């Protein structure tokens, strides 16, 4: 292998590593000797060094990568075998195919066509006439509506006054009605005629009369009123006649006022059915009308009013009922009032409708196809019908077998779907591990397995929620969409059910990647079930062939579909924690749960090492801000930072932040080698604790990688000082360096830098922004020159940006405060006693 065959990135990494070692030689001659050794290396040796695996790096299976060709072939074969079920026992002589030859029955047979029979039974269920029952709640509302209309009528009649308003022995009811509603000029004419002693025949009014318009003749009602008034005038005293006239005038005034009020309130729903002619009914007639309307309404509601009944038929029924009990004068009014009050009161009886539909389905006789021996099943060149296929399949003449062309074509379709998935993965979620690919394939295989077992609804809702919450919305939608296309091609499944399930599942997968709690995921599951039920209902109504579909059957199936979608969502919610543990997944929901300060390990850290816990919180603040600015996984950075120093609990007093001003343990030890061992042990102990509490490996990686292979400078310097005093002491730099690995991701690299800068930033009190930035840049430059950032992917530009962010967060924590006067703290001198 030639040196030029090495990738540029790996070569640069090699050079930095070699020259990093060169810098550790303190003497100039040692450095020259080291560099001369490097220059003597052959290109093949350099290539071997560059290609040698780094023991500090994690395994490739943990870091992710493209799946191997063998794995891809296995996945294609597995999915093709599971989903392409119909291609393995497919009849060549199927329905609507052309018969290659004339085929006769080898023997007599009577075969039940189960598919046609089930279709007819389903049509019988759907087309059965629904059973109706009276809805008492609707009846009660109808009675209340009628009562409100009658109450309004009583109110209007009370304002207009009673009829008759005078004893009928004095004036007839007709005369009273006429006098009350007569116009003013007519009333004056009648009074003038009565006062002048006119005859009952009432001659035509003189043209020069001031009261009656010229050319207008007196009506029969007017003549009768004049006659009755003259008769009463002749037989009564002047005082009685004057009192009668006052009664008539008051009745006219009340009538006129009420008529004007009624005309102004025509927009009122309860008044629009009444007009001034309504006041012509006597009190007895109005009472009889109300009683008759109630009786007619009882008979109509007892018979029932079905929904969808035409208004013309309902109006004819109302008139027929009113003819029996209502006075002729009030029939038009009663008809309008009753038509406004009544409405359909029959509703579907679900139980009786179901029983009727089942009886109708049971009444359908099985479709039996009979044939005698030697009779022709199908002629050559003719299409095969359903009944022909039943006979051919019964006699084993349908030529069932493996459709290799279909299998190969379907395998190509599956391979194309896998290619689409890998492209979407590379675009939206690169770096899935082998175990992640295995989980996706495993979840995908459960769908055809459940369909083959006869489960009435697919598990696409669970699939969408799980993959969407584990690996993001894009991958969840991709898997559900590709499966929705492949399933009806390779398996027998109702496309209406599949469409409703797929739409609800795509909705769930699209939203699952944005959720941050189990509660939100549970609510989303309810939305998925609701969407699935509604889509199924709409598709069923659109595709229902009978003119009057049974709502019971349609609604029942829709509700069942919605409940199944909800049930699969609950299954996904229940098994997601186990899958996260088993496959070591770090979903946003799990990271949010791990970041809860009430987790046992974090509570133990806060109580056993409170200084370390406060240090952790500030490091988390710095790291989160930098991760958010660089587009990293903020949830992972937050959770990883909270657990990166849990190993300090093994000896909390060995770290200065937990000593709380007490004696320094390392001063008592007075041995830099032992002190360095204690300091280094917080990494190994932290890994042990993380495994004990089953933290994800992505979180565990923060524990060693946040220290990398850095030098424990303080104790290394102490050892050097002692070596100067005692030449017999041998200093091995590895004893004072962490064991690594160095950061392998941008997230762990950011935490290393935040952890390195935290103590220095805390120590700054009155420093300016430029001073703080210069100090942070020195620390970051030291980590860069120490080759700690070689494998994490952070660039120099990222380092500059991180320094700016750290200083900005530090400024937010150390903002200026208003100096309070001493009086605010109760230190002012007490007033002198008088």
Q: What is the spatial distance between Cα 737 and Cα 739, in angstroms, rounded to a whole number?
A: 6
Tokens coding 739 = 């064991």
Closest CA relative to residue 754, chosen from 795, 799, 811: 799
Spatial distance between the Cα atoms of 248 and 194, rounded to a whole number of angstroms: 14
- State the Cα torsion 38-44-47-49 to the nearest 10°: -60
Q: How far is CA 642 from CA 619, 629, 756, 828, in A?
A: 9, 19, 15, 45
Instruction: Dig out the tokens for 40 from the structure.
Output: 């003597």
Tokens of 330: 């009030």
pLDDT at 748: 93
CA distance 755 to 638: 13
- The string of DSSP letters for 185-246 reads HHHHHHHHHHHTT--TT-PPPPTT-SSSPTTPPPPHHHHHHHHHHHHHHHHS-HHHHHHHHH
- Tokens for 77? 């074969």
Strand partners, 737: 711
Q: How far is CA 269 from the centre of its chain?
A: 42
> Directed axis angle between helix 220-235 and helix 173-181, to 10°?
110
Q: What is the separation of C-alpha 615 from the centre of its chain, rounded to a whole number of angstroms?
A: 40
Provide the pLDDT for residue 375.
86
Q: What is the pTM of this model?
A: 0.61
Cα–Cα distance measured from residue 265 to residue 259, given in angstroms and rounded to the nearest whole number: 10
User: Among 642, 624, 626, 644, which residue's Cα sits nearest to residue 634?
Assistant: 624
SS3 726: coil
CB 146 within 8 A of CB 297: yes
Determine phi and psi for 665, rounding to 5 degrees. Answer: -60, -35
Euclidean distance between CA atoms 255 and 177, whole angstroms: 10
374 CB neighbour count, 10 Å cutoff: 10
pLDDT at 718: 85
Assigned token pair, 593 = 């749960």
What does the alpha-carbon distance between residue 515 and residue 593 come to, in Å, rounded to a whole number? 12
Q: How many residues does the chain have?
A: 834
Name every residue whose Cβ is closer than 8 Å to that of residue 431 and which is 6 or more positions away in sequence. Answer: 63, 64, 65
pLDDT score of 102: 87
d(CA 368, CA 391): 10
* The predicted structure's pLDDT at residue 109: 86
> With a cut of 70, which residues of the chain have pLDDT below it?
1-66, 128, 197-218, 265-273, 544-553, 815-834
Q: Which two tokens stand for residue 183?
A: 């116009």
How many helices (H) and strands (E) are present in the chain, helices listed first?
35, 8
Structure tokens at 204: 């035509």
- What is the per-residue DSSP string for 283-342? HHHHHHHHHHHHHHHHHHHHH---TT--HHHHHHHHHHHHTTTS-GGGHHHHHHHHHHH-
d(CA 459, CA 461): 5
DSSP assignment letter at 383: B
**Cα separations (Å) of 512 from 164, 508, 625?**
78, 6, 25
- HEC profile for 59-105? CHHHHCCCCCHHHHHHHHHHHHHHHCHHHHCEECCCCCCECCCCEEC
Residues 133, 128: Cα–Cα separation, whole Å = 16
Instruction: Specify the pLDDT at position 87.
Output: 85
Residues 6+ apart with CB under 8 A from 239: none
Decide: 304 and 138 in contact? Cβ < 8 Å: no
- 477-483 — which CB contacts under 8 Å span 24+ positions? 477/506, 477/509, 477/510, 478/420, 478/421, 478/424, 479/421, 479/440, 479/443, 479/444, 479/509, 480/505, 480/506, 480/509, 481/506, 482/417, 482/420, 482/421, 483/444, 483/447
């Amino acid at each position: 292998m030639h040196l030029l065959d090495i990738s540029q990135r790996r070569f640069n990494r090699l050079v930095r590593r070699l020259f990093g070692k060169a810098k550790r030689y303190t003497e100039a001659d040692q450095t020259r000797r080291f560099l001369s050794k490097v220059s003597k290396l052959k290109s093949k040796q350099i290539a071997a060094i560059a290609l040698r695996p780094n023991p500090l790096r994690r395994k490739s299976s943990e870091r992710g990568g493209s799946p191997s060709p063998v794995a891809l072939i296995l996945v294609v074969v597995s999915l093709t075998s599971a989903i392409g079920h119909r291609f393995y026992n497919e009849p060549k002589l199927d329905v609507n195919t052309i018969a290659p030859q004339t085929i006769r029955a080898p023997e007599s047979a009577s075969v039940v066509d189960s598919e046609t029979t089930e279709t007819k039974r389903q049509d019988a269920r759907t087309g059965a006439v629904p059973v109706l029952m009276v809805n008492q709640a609707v009846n009660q509302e109808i009675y209340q509506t009628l009562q409100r209309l009658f109450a309004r009528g009583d109110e209007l009649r009370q304002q207009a006054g009673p009829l008759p308003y005078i004893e009928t022995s004095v004036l007839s009811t007709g005369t009273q009605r006429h006098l009350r509603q007569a116009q003013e000029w007519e009333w004056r004419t009648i009074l003038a005629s009565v006062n002048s002693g006119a005859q009952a025949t009432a001659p035509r009014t003189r043209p020069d009369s001031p009261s009656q318009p010229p050319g207008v003749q007196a009506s029969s009602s007017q003549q009768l009123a004049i006659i009755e008034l003259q008769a009463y005038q002749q037989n009564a005293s002047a005082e009685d006649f004057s009192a009668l006239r006052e009664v008539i005038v008051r009745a006219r005034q009340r009538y006129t006022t009420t008529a004007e009020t009624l005309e102004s309130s025509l927009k009122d729903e309860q008044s629009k059915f009444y007009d001034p002619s309504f006041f012509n009914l006597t009190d007895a007639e109005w009472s009889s009308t109300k009683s008759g309307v109630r009786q007619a309404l009882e008979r109509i509601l007892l018979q029932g009013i079905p929904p969808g009944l035409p208004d013309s038929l309902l109006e004819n029924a109302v008139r027929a009922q009113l003819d029996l009990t209502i006075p002729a004068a009030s029939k038009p009014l009663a008809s309008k009032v009753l038509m406004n009050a009544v409405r359909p009161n029959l509703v579907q009886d679900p139980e009786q409708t179901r029983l009727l539909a089942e009886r109708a389905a049971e009444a359908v006789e099985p479709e039996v196809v009979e044939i005698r021996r030697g009779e022709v099943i199908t002629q050559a060149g003719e299409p095969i019908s359903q009944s022909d296929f039943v006979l051919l399949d019964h006699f084993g003449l349908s030529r069932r077998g493996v459709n290799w062309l279909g299998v190969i074509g379907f395998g190509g379709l599956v391979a194309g779907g896998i290619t689409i998935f890998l492209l979407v993965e590379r675009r939206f979620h690169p770096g899935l591990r082998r175990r992640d690919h295995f989980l996706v394939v495993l979840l995908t295989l459960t769908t055809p397995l459940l369909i083959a077992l006869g489960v009435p609804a697919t598990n696409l809702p669970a699939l969408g929620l799980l993959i969407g919450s584990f690996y993001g919305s894009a991958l969840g939608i991709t898997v559900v969409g590709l499966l929705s296309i492949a399933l009806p091609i390779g398996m027998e499944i109702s496309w209406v059910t599949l469409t409703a399930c797929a739409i609800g599942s795509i909705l769930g997968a699209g939203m699952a990647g944005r959720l941050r709690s189990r509660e939100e995921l549970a609510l989303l599951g309810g939305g998925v079930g609701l969407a699935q039920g509604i889509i199924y209902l709409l598709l069923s109504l659109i595709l229902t062939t009978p003119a009057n579909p049974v709502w019971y059957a349609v609604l029942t199936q829709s509700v069942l579909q919605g409940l199944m979608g909800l049930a699969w969502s609950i299954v996904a919610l229940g098994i997601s924690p186990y899958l996260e543990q088993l496959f070591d997944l770090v979903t946003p929901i799990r990271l949010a749960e791990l970041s809860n300060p009430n987790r046992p390990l974090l509570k133990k850290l806060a109580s056993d090492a409170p200084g370390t816990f406060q240090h952790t919180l500030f490091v988390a603040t710095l790291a989160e801000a930098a991760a958010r600015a660089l587009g990293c996984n903020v949830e992972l950075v937050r959770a990883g930072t909270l657990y990166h120093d849990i190993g300090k609990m093994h000896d909390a007093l060995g770290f200065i932040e937990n000593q709380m001003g007490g004696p320094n343990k390392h001063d008592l030890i007075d041995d830099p080698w032992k002190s360095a061992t204690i300091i280094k042990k917080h990494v190994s102990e932290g890994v042990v604790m993380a495994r004990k509490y089953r933290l994800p490996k992505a979180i565990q990686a923060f524990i060693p990688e946040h220290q990398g292979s850095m030098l424990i400078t303080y104790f290394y310097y102490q050892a050097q000082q002692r070596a100067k005093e005692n030449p017999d002491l041998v200093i091995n730099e590895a004893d004072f360096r962490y064991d690594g690995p160095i950061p392998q991701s941008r997230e762990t690299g950011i935490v290393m830098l935040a952890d390195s800068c935290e103590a220095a930033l805390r120590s700054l009190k009155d420093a300016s922004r430029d001073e703080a930035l210069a100090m942070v840049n020195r620390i970051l430059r030291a980590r860069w020159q120490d080759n700690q950032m070689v494998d994490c992917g952070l660039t120099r530009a990222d380092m500059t940006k991180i320094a700016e962010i750290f200083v900005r967060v530090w400024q937010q924590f150390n903002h200026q405060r208003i100096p309070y006067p001493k009086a605010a703290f109760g230190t002012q001198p007490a007033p002198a006693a008088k």
